[in-house]
Amino acid sequence: MKIRAGVFGATGYAGYELVQLLRRHPSAELVFATSEQSAGGWLSDSYPCLDDVALVRADEAPLGEVECAFCSLPHGASMATVRRAREAGVRVVDLSADFRLPDAAVYERWYKTAHEAPQLLAEAVYGLPELHREAIRGAQLVANPGCYPTSVILGCYPLAAQGLLEGGHVIVDSKSGVSGAGRSPSPTTHFCQVNESLAPYNVGHVHRHIPEMEQELSRLAGQPVRVTFAPHLVPVTRGMLSTLYVRVPPQHDAAALRRLYQETYAGEPLVHVLPEGTMATMSWATGTERCVISLHDAGVPGEAIVVSAIDNLGKGAAGQALQNMNVMFGLDETAGLRL
Amino acid sequence: MKIRAGVFGATGYAGYELVQLLRRHPSAELVFATSEQSAGGWLSDSYPCLDDVALVRADEAPLGEVECAFCSLPHGASMATVRRAREAGVRVVDLSADFRLPDAAVYERWYKTAHEAPQLLAEAVYGLPELHREAIRGAQLVANPGCYPTSVILGCYPLAAQGLLEGGHVIVDSKSGVSGAGRSPSPTTHFCQVNESLAPYNVGHVHRHIPEMEQELSRLAGQPVRVTFAPHLVPVTRGMLSTLYVRVPPQHDAAALRRLYQETYAGEPLVHVLPEGTMATMSWATGTERCVISLHDAGVPGEAIVVSAIDNLGKGAAGQALQNMNVMFGLDETAGLRL
Amino acid sequence: MKIRAGVFGATGYAGYELVQLLRRHPSAELVFATSEQSAGGWLSDSYPCLDDVALVRADEAPLGEVECAFCSLPHGASMATVRRAREAGVRVVDLSADFRLPDAAVYERWYKTAHEAPQLLAEAVYGLPELHREAIRGAQLVANPGCYPTSVILGCYPLAAQGLLEGGHVIVDSKSGVSGAGRSPSPTTHFCQVNESLAPYNVGHVHRHIPEMEQELSRLAGQPVRVTFAPHLVPVTRGMLSTLYVRVPPQHDAAALRRLYQETYAGEPLVHVLPEGTMATMSWATGTERCVISLHDAGVPGEAIVVSAIDNLGKGAAGQALQNMNVMFGLDETAGLRL
Amino acid sequence: MKIRAGVFGATGYAGYELVQLLRRHPSAELVFATSEQSAGGWLSDSYPCLDDVALVRADEAPLGEVECAFCSLPHGASMATVRRAREAGVRVVDLSADFRLPDAAVYERWYKTAHEAPQLLAEAVYGLPELHREAIRGAQLVANPGCYPTSVILGCYPLAAQGLLEGGHVIVDSKSGVSGAGRSPSPTTHFCQVNESLAPYNVGHVHRHIPEMEQELSRLAGQPVRVTFAPHLVPVTRGMLSTLYVRVPPQHDAAALRRLYQETYAGEPLVHVLPEGTMATMSWATGTERCVISLHDAGVPGEAIVVSAIDNLGKGAAGQALQNMNVMFGLDETAGLRL
């Protein structure tokens, strides 16, 4: 008996990735895939694929035939669909930001949009299995984390959980591949704009992924953690690397931190802490669902640098969504992944 | 009457760039170009060029026929050639690290090489015209700065000079194009290694450009300034972008800092401070000799982010070397540049 | 006395390149630059530049103040502006396709647009100086060639002119950088679509640059020449390389063809025929206004391969437009170019 | 019972790809992996991987414990290892060129190396399953085709087999990703050399993959077929696209050819003939073991253009090697592939 699943928003990068993963999943089955723009057509009109998938409008999706729905829609657009799926009794993994922040007022402040399904916020679980595995297991609605937060929270979790994040502050310098900007053409994603350049954007305390990071790190630390965040767009299709500058108690050098991280993540199938002398690079994570982490001394006691790499569409989006489904339905947590 | 100049190490990226700039320079003339590996051949064996240049061995270079010599040789290899040029009475712009640190012991600690011409260190001037223009004017030996230090020092100069660098500390996250790694093939510069990735290296307090940065910033600040430095290799040929995380007095928000930077650099032809709402990107500097800087709030009073972009071969190497020659010989400072 | 010039369509890639070239030109002066979308703003809103240029609407352009107008508008949109400029007595270099084909019916068949200024077709000169220098000198209206045709016609000219193009047929496999597709965002130019791929398009006998190629090659050969054409989009910003498969009289091996090409182009400042053992690559032409050509045996007598590389925005557009202006106004033909 | 397999040359790109595929193969098991340079170390020293693989020297490989050996060594170096494996009774898939040409003299003429195991040539089967499936099934030694020949032969097979290749001649313009040039650093594969360029090489009738192409196409056509071949290096890591210019009987337009190709490849799991209106691009094949083909009119009756795309490391090397193993051992032909 396979888990029957549907994908809302199947022609975006993350949605298409999900379709691909689901079709190879040994214990899951793709029942429907939606696209407002391409409804009536085929997924192969947008992407090459041998075994084709028909696209339907979201409101035609046969919710009664699935046990799990993935919503890979833009923030704001996801809420209504999630609500409909939940009303049909379907368990949901939502890849948008709509259910990541439990407080609708905080959501509205950062996303400049009224929340249309605030009653569902209480049941939503933040879908980072390394932090919330038990809650995800029983969840009806999982809010899949953003790509930047995934790389940052996993890169800080052992520190925050052990109370080692001195000053309650992390400086995050992130570098992202262009697929993170979505599939809609814009001046920002034009090849000639991206190629042979590297561009910071939303520098400071303005990117919408900040409240997620601060929420999870503060929860772990038991005190407010503030994130200074500078994301950069780099000329690669997939991949994300975050360089984290932290202050720690002086006795914790890189070797000690490495041991802490290796212990913390010992049983985690998707987090890989590198040994001394090896540095996390983007390509070590690209095309996988892994988060790859390396620890480094910053030159003086009391400071450290953490490098955390993921594939923004893998552990940063579709791969983590599938991992969440696996946890929710009691499957092997890495079933269907590309490890 | 044109300045007669020679280039030692003309087949490396910076050396070749210098040759190109010199050939277009209205008031300079290329007299010789050296290459140990390709001596006896032509520059066009390595690079496309219509008006070809014969390559000679360094010890065959007619030092007696030039007024200015550029040394674009690896650190350690440059010292002996510089000494020979100076003994011949030729003024020198050295692009290596050999004369950037006045203290031979510091040099030897960072570069693991004995200094063979320590007697010349006293006369060497650190060739960042925005800081040392007067000294460069009269200098016999100019030590052209490294690419990373150029982007970082120009990005911090107004703060350091005004005593605004709180805590005497800067966190520097730099991203460099691959030409910065030199022209010799290695696993690190193999296309398939670099492409679709982004790789930190020498993270912490280990990169050899650190003592230059700390030396100049400390001198400006009148107190020790420490640099935490994480360089990253990115899949572009040319370009460099440094994101600087600094602490400043709380009343200095981005707007105030922008005014300070615009005043400080008001007369500088090669430093461009961007207006509010525009962010420095790598491509704004690529192919130019400019340093492009933008200022940003970090989210709380007392913290700021500076973004500083240069072309690692332009303002970061050959372009700055030519600027130095222009200053040394009393020419228009931007003569021969591509602005 | 400088030539006073204006640029219609200054925010497109070719138009902006023209503005840059004009501002560095020793004997020309930029008087106006137009943009419908950005009128009232500055060129630096779209591109970084130190010395800024105000943008006006095309119908506000002070035609009475210029001697030369460049039209860098899309085909179809250019005709009306060219007509207006000509009515004002201004000499024009038109970068669109609107005046490249003397027969309005042929134009309308390929471009699916009625020609609005057919009366001007008779005075238009096809602006490939290597073929039509004398006519360009006296021309009031120069139709600047397309990028593909420039690479192909220069690659075949010596053969066609000498009657060596056996069978009256050329197979052209061209590879173009993405700037050739223009600055408007579209799925085709999205970074993630272009990157890590290579895509043929308009394969066969369908691309609109074909009639230009056939027109010029047939004129030279004195008999109809047919072109089979497969253009490909490659993941580079600038550059174009055409690989030409031709049949020639059997006694003409690559060495003989090389001599012929070197003789034909002996006095040409912008065409560079490579010596034996060197192959034209895209990067040898990128960033220049040169056409670089190499000749190769195909394995059997009677067949040859010609490789012809240009920068699609250099010799393929703006650089050639400036070369045409230089010829028209009796200036040094390479004045203001980057050679 | 799983097929026990070993990989000679596991640190090259194709060898490493094979290791990855074998580890995910449901019916095969990796028993050993060799590397002369890295023997004694781990595969993760060269590549990131969670489940690590020990590397041994080739002469230490436990041939007695495997049923199948893959040789992913350079041509010339492969012969001796293949002979040793065959003497141990192990079935071999050789990814080098050493056993692709049945005539040792032809091999020696093209590869400038004496053949050290000519006695094995008779038993070697050319490993293109679409042409030689039956022979591969019973083969002890399979010579895995080159990447260029795979794309070209599959692109011409239906024409050659039906006697439609007029003139016995194909013009092949191929574009290859850089991984095809191997993992050894060289000036040719330096990032700054490849990036923002496109470079033809070995143009005409000189590339060593030509005799394979001509051998197979001539065999199919029942008459000599000559290939004119211009390979080009493009700035992508993986991927290959060949544009084939052929002459066909005039009644065979693209629609007729498409039908022929679709019939010919109807049962083939790894060849995908595209419908009208869709063009094969490199990315449609990258990351897969598919060959994707599209057919196009050339503008006049009697000429056609075929576009054939593969992943040079997939169907062009490791993927096809695994497909061959599957055929040899009676497994599902696509078992372990990424389709």
Place of tokens 């910076």: B14
Which pLDDT band holds residue B237 (cuts at 50, 70, 90)?
very high
Q: Cα(A34)–Cα(A72) distance, rounded to whole angstroms?
A: 10
Instruction: Determine the distance in angstroms separating the CA of A275 from the nearest CA of chain D, rounded to an integer.
Output: 11
Q: Which two tokens stand for residue B118?
A: 């320590």
Which of helix, strand or coil describes residue A4?
strand
What is the pLDDT, as a whole number, of residue A50? 63
Q: Which two tokens stand for residue D20?
A: 């990855």
Residues of chain C that touch chain A, judged by Cβ-Cβ distance less than 8 Å:
13, 178-179, 183, 185-187, 189-196, 235-237
What is the pLDDT, as a whole number, of residue A338? 83
Contacts of B20 (CB under 8 A, 6+ apart): B49
Q: Cα(D184)–Cα(B192) distance, rounded to whole angstroms?
A: 11
Q: What is the pLDDT of residues C314-335, one digit of tens each?
A: 999 999 999 999 999 999 999 9
Q: Which amino acid belongs to residue A102?
A: P
Q: Cα(B249)–Cα(B256) distance, rounded to whole angstroms?
A: 11
pTM of the complete model beyond 0.95: yes
For B27, phi then psi, to 5°, come to -125, 20
Percent of chain B residues topping a pLDDT of 90: 95
Contact state of D228 with C234 under an 8 Å Cβ cutoff: no
Q: Which two tokens stand for residue C302?
A: 């009677």
Beta carbons within 10 angstroms of residue A251's beta carbon: 8
H/E stretch holding D324 reads helix D319-328
Query: Which is the catalytic residue, given C49, C68, C71, C147?
Result: C147
The stretch C168-181 carries a mean pLDDT of 97
Contacts of B292 in chain C (CB under 8 A): 48
Q: What is the pLDDT of residues A141-172, one digit of tens each?
A: 999 999 999 999 999 999 999 999 999 999 99
Instruction: Determine the distance in angstroms separating the CA of C181 from the nearest CA of chain A, rounded to an integer.
Output: 10
Q: DSSP class of residue D156?
A: H
The stretch B116-143 carries a mean pLDDT of 98
What is the pLDDT, as a whole number, of residue B338? 83
Beta carbons within 10 angstroms of residue A250's beta carbon: 11
What chain A residue is nearest to B201 in terms of C-alpha separation? A279
What is the pLDDT, as a whole number, of residue C50? 63
C272: nearest CB among B50, B283, B284: B50
Q: Cα(A261)–Cα(A274) distance, rounded to whole angstroms?
A: 10
- pLDDT at residue C338 greater than cutoff 90: no
CA D278 to the chain's CA centroid: 25
Q: How many CB pairs under 8 A join C and D?
A: 144
Residues of chain B that touch chain C, judged by Cβ-Cβ distance less than 8 Å:
48, 50, 196, 272, 283-284, 290, 292, 339
Q: Cα(C152)–Cα(C136) distance, rounded to whole angstroms?
A: 20
Q: What is the pLDDT of residues A318-329, one digit of tens each?
A: 999 999 999 999
Q: Cα(C312)–Cα(C237) distance, rounded to whole angstroms?
A: 10
What chain B residue is nearest to C237 in terms of C-alpha separation? B236
For D172, phi then psi, to 5°, come to -115, 120
Contact state of B290 with C339 under an 8 Å Cβ cutoff: no
Instruction: Determine the distance in angstroms separating the CA of B82 from the nearest CA of chain C, rounded to an integer.
Output: 31
Catalytic residue ranges of B: 147
Contact state of C297 with D238 under an 8 Å Cβ cutoff: no
> CATH 3.40.50.720 residue ranges in chain D?
3-145+316-328
Arithmetic mean of pLDDT over chain B: 96
H/E stretch holding C240 reads strand C240-247
Contact state of B48 with C339 under an 8 Å Cβ cutoff: no
Contact state of A198 with B245 under an 8 Å Cβ cutoff: no
Residues in chain C: 339
Contact call for residues D66 and D31 (beta carbons, < 8 A): yes
B190: nearest CB among D189, D235, D236: D189
What is the pLDDT, as a whole number, of residue A265? 98
Place of tokens 């070719």: C14
Q: Cα(A55)–Cα(A38) distance, rounded to whole angstroms?
A: 7
Contact state of A234 with B203 under an 8 Å Cβ cutoff: no
H/E stretch holding C247 reads strand C240-247
Contacts of A173 in chain B (CB under 8 A): 173, 230, 243, 245
- pLDDT at residue C207 greater than cutoff 90: yes
Mutation pick from B16, B21, B46, B50 vs chain C, by most beta carbons of C within 10 Å, is B50
The ipTM is 0.97
Instruction: Determine the distance in angstroms separating the CA of A183 from the nearest CA of chain C, rounded to an integer.
Output: 8
B228: nearest CB among A204, A239, A245: A245
The stretch B187-201 carries a mean pLDDT of 97
Which of helix, strand or coil describes residue A105?
helix
B185: nearest CB among D179, D186, D235: D186
- pLDDT at residue C45 greater than cutoff 90: no
Which pLDDT band holds residue C149 (cuts at 50, 70, 90)?
very high
Contact state of C50 with B339 under an 8 Å Cβ cutoff: yes
Contact call for residues C82 and C139 (beta carbons, < 8 A): no
The three-state DSSP-derived secondary structure of A296-318 is: EECCCCCEEEEEEEECCCHHHHH
Contacts of A167 (CB under 8 A, 6+ apart): A247
What chain D residue is nearest to C192 in terms of C-alpha separation? D283
The verdict on whether A147 is a catalytic residue reads: yes
What is the pLDDT, as a whole number, of residue C1? 81
Contact state of B196 with A297 under an 8 Å Cβ cutoff: no
What chain A residue is nearest to B241 in terms of C-alpha separation? A198
Q: Which two tokens stand for residue B225?
A: 């300034």
Which of helix, strand or coil describes residue C296?
strand
Contact state of D292 with A48 under an 8 Å Cβ cutoff: yes
User: Which among C8, C5, C10 is positioned nearest to C46, based on CA atoms?
Assistant: C10
What chain B residue is nearest to C338 in terms of C-alpha separation? B24
Which pLDDT band holds residue C49 (cuts at 50, 70, 90)?
low
Which pLDDT band holds residue B58 (cuts at 50, 70, 90)?
very high
Question: Pairing between strand D199-200 and C91-94?
Answer: unpaired
Contacts of D178 in chain B (CB under 8 A): 191-192, 195
Contact state of A197 with B286 under an 8 Å Cβ cutoff: yes
User: Which among A107, A229, A224, A116 is positioned nearest to A176, based on CA atoms?
Assistant: A229
CATH topology of domain B3-145+316-328: Rossmann fold (3.40.50)
Contact call for residues C179 and A190 (beta carbons, < 8 A): no
Contact state of D290 with A196 under an 8 Å Cβ cutoff: no
Contacts of C280 in chain D (CB under 8 A): 200
Contacts of C191 (CB under 8 A, 6+ apart): A178, A189, A190, A191, A193, A194, A195, A235, A237
Contact state of B192 with D185 under an 8 Å Cβ cutoff: no
Q: How many CB pairs under 8 A join A and B?
A: 143
Q: Cα(B21)–Cα(B287) distance, rounded to whole angstroms?
A: 12
Enumerate neighbours of D (3 or more CB pairs within 8 A): A, B, C
Contact call for residues D269 and D334 (beta carbons, < 8 A): yes
In which order are the strands placed within the sheet that holds B199-200?
B199-200, B226-233, B169-176, B240-247, B303-310, B291-297, B271-273
Q: Which amino acid belongs to residue D168?
A: G
Q: Cα(B314)–Cα(B320) distance, rounded to whole angstroms?
A: 6
Contact state of B48 with C284 under an 8 Å Cβ cutoff: yes
Q: DSSP class of residue D145?
A: P
Contact call for residues B134 and B210 (beta carbons, < 8 A): no
Instruction: Determine the distance in angstroms separating the CA of C255 from the nearest CA of chain D, rounded to an integer.
Output: 14
Residues pairing with D226 in the sheet: D169
Contact call for residues D42 and D54 (beta carbons, < 8 A): yes
Contact state of C190 with A189 under an 8 Å Cβ cutoff: yes
> CATH 3.30.360.10 residue ranges in chain C?
148-311
CA C101 to the chain's CA centroid: 14
Q: Which two tokens stand for residue A115?
A: 């929340």
The stretch A297-305 carries a mean pLDDT of 95
Which of helix, strand or coil describes residue A24?
helix
The stretch A188-217 carries a mean pLDDT of 97
Contact state of A243 with B232 under an 8 Å Cβ cutoff: yes
Q: What is the pLDDT of residues C77-121, one digit of tens each?
A: 999 999 999 999 999 999 999 999 999 999 999 999 999 999 999
Beta carbons within 10 angstroms of residue C189's beta carbon: 22
| Positive or negative torsion for Cα C49, C50, C51, C55 | positive
Which pLDDT band holds residue C273 (cuts at 50, 70, 90)?
very high
Residues pairing with D296 in the sheet: D305
| Positive or negative torsion for Cα B249, B254, B257, B259 | negative
Enumerate neighbours of B (3 or more CB pairs within 8 A): A, C, D
Q: Cα(B138)–Cα(D135) distance, rounded to whole angstroms?
A: 81
B185: nearest CB among D187, D196, D236: D187
Q: Walk along chain D (339 residues) and give the pLDDT tens digit of each residue.
A: 899 999 999 999 999 999 999 999 999 999 999 999 999 999 988 887 666 899 999 999 999 999 999 999 999 999 999 999 999 999 999 999 999 999 999 999 999 999 999 999 999 999 999 999 999 999 999 999 999 999 999 999 999 999 999 999 999 999 999 999 999 999 999 999 999 999 999 999 999 999 999 999 999 999 999 999 999 999 999 999 999 999 999 999 999 999 999 999 999 999 999 999 999 999 999 999 999 999 999 999 999 999 999 999 999 999 999 999 999 999 999 999 987
Instruction: Determine the distance in angstroms separating the CA of A229 from the nearest CA of chain B, rounded to an integer.
Output: 8
Query: Which is the catalytic residue, given A49, A68, A71, A147?
Result: A147
Q: Which two tokens stand for residue B180?
A: 């910065």
What beta strand segments (E) does chain A contain?
A: 3-8, 28-33, 68-71, 91-94, 124-126, 141-143, 169-176, 199-200, 226-233, 240-247, 271-273, 291-297, 303-310
D272: nearest CB among A50, A272, A339: A50
CATH superfamily of B148-311: Dihydrodipicolinate Reductase; domain 2 (3.30.360.10)
